[in-house]
Structure 1
Amino acid sequence: MPDPIRVLHVEDDPNFGDLVASYLERESDRITVASARNAEEALEQLSEKRPDCVVSDYDMPGRNGIELLETVRDRYPNLPFILFTGKGSEEVASEAISAGATDYLQKGGGTEQYAILANRVQNAVERRRSSLRAENLERLRRLGGRINRALVQASSRDEIETAVCRIVADAEPYRFAWVGEVDPESDRVTPRAEAGTADGYLEEVSVPAGEGPDQPGPAAVAVQENRVAASQRVESDPLFDPWREAALERGFRSVAAVPLEYDGTVFGVLVVYAGREQLFDEAEQALLAELAADIAHAIHACKVRRELELRDQAIGEAPVGIVITGNADEGQPIRYVNDRFEEITGYDEAEIRGRNCRFLQGPETREEPVTRMREAIDEDEPVSVELRNYRKNGDRFWNRVSIAPLRDEDGTVTNYVGFQEEITDRKERERRLERQNERFDELASIVSHDLRTPVETVRGWLELAVETGEVEHVKRARDSIERLDDLREDLADTLRSREVVSETRRVGLGRLAEDAWARVDAADGSDLRVVDQFDITADPDATRRLLQNLFSNAVEHSEGAVTVRVGRTDGGFYVEDDGPGIRPENRDAVFEAGFTTKADGTGMGMVSVSGIVDAHGWRIEVADADALNGTRFEITV
């Protein structure tokens, strides 16, 4: 569901203020309205609650709306501000826009005006949020780049932790950062490195690591549950009670703790403090989690490099691919690879010794990361990139490659060491998530459009019933309510299909098909025939919903009884029926949100099917039914 929108409405007439609040909250369940009677009260609320948008009258006692706007712009330059006033003139509108108003709307025009106001509020807030997201993504990208460069350059755990704390603390809006390790004897988190404007903060606080009588703050939760833990508002978060006073004195308004975990073991935690409330949203936490993974990976890599110096055997057993090459003047011939490198690439050391690592590149290897590696090597600098590589058998895989120069006592680069980690699964998850998010945006537009007509129809019939007192009009409204209920059911199925499939196991497809068929309201004489009994690896609940949607589609588009068959294909399974079939020109559009050939169809059942297929990493196609001359869906698993 979209994020809520908090509106501060400034209006000196309390009755009209209540009316506006009621209409705005009725127009959108995302909107909540707080009221202020004058500019001074509004500014006080702004400093305490930070709404997403201000809607203000013009004529008010004390400061008028324009004067309030000018003050808001001085303190909160980017906060959406809409002047909603009965004093309408080109002069006032021009003055409002010149003073930095986001929008201007004149009162009057009946209840439609409140729908317009709600729409403008939502548009203004979404534009601001989009802008903030873009700014944050760029800020986070730069921060990630600086940290990754430091990770590649650092040669020890102490250097990594010190550099990370310094870089994070220097990046606005962060104020302070520290890295701690878990002390199993005291069951507490002990700081190892810190940077920023802390002024003795860590000397005043004590951080538990495990369960016990102490209040579990973000660091303890991060360690115990191996996840990012945040206090978005230090001032009011009950979990931050023991540290609130010390934190607020230093200007800390929000905190996030990120576990440093490698290979299932949490060995430390990165704790970051910011001078802004509500900073650690989903995107911020995701970046911190990725940075923590890089930090943990780099710390582990340092450990591996240290073991390289002590024991050659340890190199071969390292859990990341390691390759040592000659210097750039020699063309960087491969001198050594470890066992993990051989496992990742499929090549034996004897096959690649003396070659340059470019042989792992192929048609889908993007030029940008390759160029970055070449430039770094030319400058004798470390670098970390993610790129497509190819195994010996031709399979593509995503590879995180970190390269660093090795120098002799004189500082001359003699070799390069490269660390390689396959990240194909993560990249595939990101790709599926992007596709699902695109479908969700598309779905939101369709649902908004499809809900509008039945809602307006219900409103119209009910208003007519109130005016005439005729019960028949209420019955007509009930038909549209049933249509809304159909939309609700289909929407719920579609949203469930967007859940990432996290638990899969071997299940019998025939049994799932029979369970799904039992939930379908088919006409008398309809029949399910399971042609082949076989197992697939799948999420049972999601696959049952997929089959139920396909069966329901066959039933709904058939006049009378229908026969459905489920069987095996070379690459997966099929579902076919003896219904009217799908026209060839409609086959590409059948899985698009909102597409339907029925007057009362919602167009979302097949979107649910497509979502489940995508979540599993499968593929679905429409084909001619072999035996029944109807519709055949083939799912490749």
Structure 2
Amino acid sequence: MDSGLTREVLDALPARIAVLDGTGRIVETNAAWRAFAAERDHPLVPRDGDEGRTYLETLARSGNDQASTVATRVRSLLDDDHAGTELAYRADADGDALRITLAPVTHDGDRFVVLHHADREREGTEGGTGERISSQLKERAMDEAPVGITISDPEDPDNPVIYANAAFERITGYPVEEVLGRNCRFLQGPDTDPETVARMRQAVEDQDPVTVEVRNYRRNDEEFWNQVTIAPLYDHAGELAHYVGFQQDVTDRKRAERDLETERDRLALLNQIVRHDIRNDMSVALGWGGELAKRIDPADEDAFERIMTAATHTKELTEAVGDLVDILGTADPELEAIPLAPVLRTEVDRVRSNFDYRSQSVTIRGDDDLPTVDVWATPILASVFGNLLDNAVFHNDKAAIEIEVGAEVTAETAVVRIADNGPGVPDERKREVFGRGEKGLESPGSGLGLYLVDNLVDTYGGSVRIEDNDPEGAVFRVELRRADPESHST
């Protein structure tokens, strides 16, 4: 091919082309390169010979880091017998993004480098380099994803798999080559739920996304629980093109759920025993104790009160344990609007009745002036106030126990205060006492009461904290969310 034809061919090419000799000077360019150089001041197309420098020197001294990288690659190709390379030049301030190709050429014993660059299409432009880069990146991401990914083709009979990633092979044990061309139903087995399979099949027929948990089987016939999501993929015309499936092994979670269900069944049995048998027996003991109270010799009153206090506490503990079982057995209890004042008054009356055997008084004030307000809670809200009132009695070192109850309302909350004249709670333990097993004053209690209070109030979206009473004692402050828009005193 003569030189004239060679130049015509070069000039016909849309890519910008320049040939560099061993010194790094441009010895040949095509029309596209010359036109670009005349119209633009681009870091990759400096004027050759500016300030006496070669093109390569100008490129190397450029303040543009990417241009300097290109210069380093060009020099490497001129000095050593390396193969060509391709670089991606990121968009500059004017928005140009280039694909740069460098190729070494040896002619008559001399070394040359052919440099050409073409506009790199923007990300997502059909047919452009950006789209190819994006596709490669997406495929690599799918190959290395921690969840199983499959793509199927509904145009082929039986909607076969046309792509499966490495995670799918790890989860199922099936090599990718054994998966391609098959419908994913090969993962089903004897104990696969047919209703779940029917849901997936119907979703595919309706072109709807669906997520299910299904019992599947690995290649070695081992069962596992598979969380499967299937979603349709549409082409640019809005027509169904493929289905994508995501698989995640949730066997450990399903096993934990099964163990939790077993534990809940055991707790339900414990609840029945505690609430029915033990509570009934303690009610009988307290009933007979009340009869004996009138005939106790004054010298034995102190011992009698200790026995009755322990028996009363045991009875109340059965209620706390039963309520705690209810909490543990319900993952997400449904809250309802509960009238605050009646619940609080009922618990105050209960405490007064339970401790009427005491020779020294238990005085509770404030329950006759409670606001009428509803709060978000469950029917066992009474356990919150019952345990706090019991705590004010059991953990009190005074002969004459005094308890003050009250409530304040705001636009969003209702705050109940239960104050006592006991020994109080040191600052460093004001949070600790809500921990499981905490108790004080050498009490016979289990410490479950305040633990239950804290968990219940948290479940209701509220909070509980302890403050110092004046001049002595503790104040338990329970903040609950209001369920009604108005409030007034009764």
Bin of the TM-score, shorter chain as denominator length: 0.3 to 0.5
TM, length-normalised to structure 1 = 0.27
- Higher helix proportion: 1
Q: Which structure is higher in RCO with an 8 Å CA cutoff and minimum separation 6? A: 2
